A and B are shown apart, each in its own frame.
Chain A
Amino acid sequence: DAKTTQPTSMDCAEGRAANLPCNHSTISGNEYVYWYRQIHSQGPQYIIHGLKNNETNEMASLIITEDRKSSTLILPHATLRDTAVYYCIVRVAGGNQFYFGTGTSLTVIP
């Protein structure tokens, strides 16, 4: 599975959009981009995933560049409860495991 690169930490003002970038320049055509987050002392929580097209659900939006070498997770109106570590992972559909890396620690500031 392709490796990803994420900033170590980010801050975001409460109520503003949080934009979390991820680079995955070696992604293969059959690999999906997944985003998970982990709030302190809890298990990781699935947020969203996509292959080529932009995706949106009740939690977030995922924007994937046309060349698929990078993506951005957007939390449209960040709240204090969105403070967590966010992991960007690429994996083939049906793959057996996720490689989490160290993620981006997002702090939402009041």
Chain B
Amino acid sequence: DTGVSQDPRHKITKRGQNVTFRCDPISEHNRLYWYRQTLGQGPEFLTYFQNEAQLEKSRLLSDRFSAERPKGSFSTLEIQRTEQGDSAMYLCASSWSGVTGSYGYTFGSGTRLTVV
């Protein structure tokens, strides 16, 4: 297992375009999270999945953002009609949540989005 993989590592897009990011979690992990990180700040929670179900969404996740995790495997995060304020690092993480509670996350290296 090579850990959590994110693709692409960098994305430059023009304002108003749609972008999609992919995350491949650690295979035995049932939880998958998306976070966003802007310069000088810690990561901020966006949403998470347990298996294929999206169980929680942050207020930061506007209606231009949509996330999916078909079949409980990889996940995609799409941003429609991108704005300059969407420029950030988008981080994916996965974890196992057993009966006794979840443990630490394993993060991917992130996708850095620049909207010009």
State whether A102 and B40 are in contact (beta carbons under 8 Å apart), knowing that A44-B91, A97-B56 are contacts in the complex: yes
Using CB atoms, name the residue of chain B closest to A32.
B101
Using CB atoms, name the residue of chain B closest to A100.
B42
**B42 pairs with A46, CB closer than 8 A:** no
Query: Which residues 20-43 of B sit at the A interface, judged by CB distance below 8 A?
Result: 33, 40-43
Using CB atoms, name the residue of chain A closest to B33.
A97
Inter-chain residue pair count (beta carbon < 8 A): 52
Which A residues lie within 8 Å of B110 (CB)? 42-43
The tally of residues in B whose CB lies under 8 Å from a CB in A reads: 25
Interface of A is mostly: loop
B103-116 vs A, CB cutoff 8 Å, 1 = contact: the mask equals: 11111111000000
Which B residues lie within 8 Å of A101 (CB)? 42
CB distance from A60 to the nearest CB of B (A): 13
A interface, size bucket = 20 to 34
In the assembled complex, B102 has its CB within 8 A of some CB on chain A: yes
CB distance from A46 to the nearest CB of B (A): 4
B residues near A (Cβ < 8 Å) are: 4, 33, 40-45, 48, 55-56, 91, 93, 97, 100-110
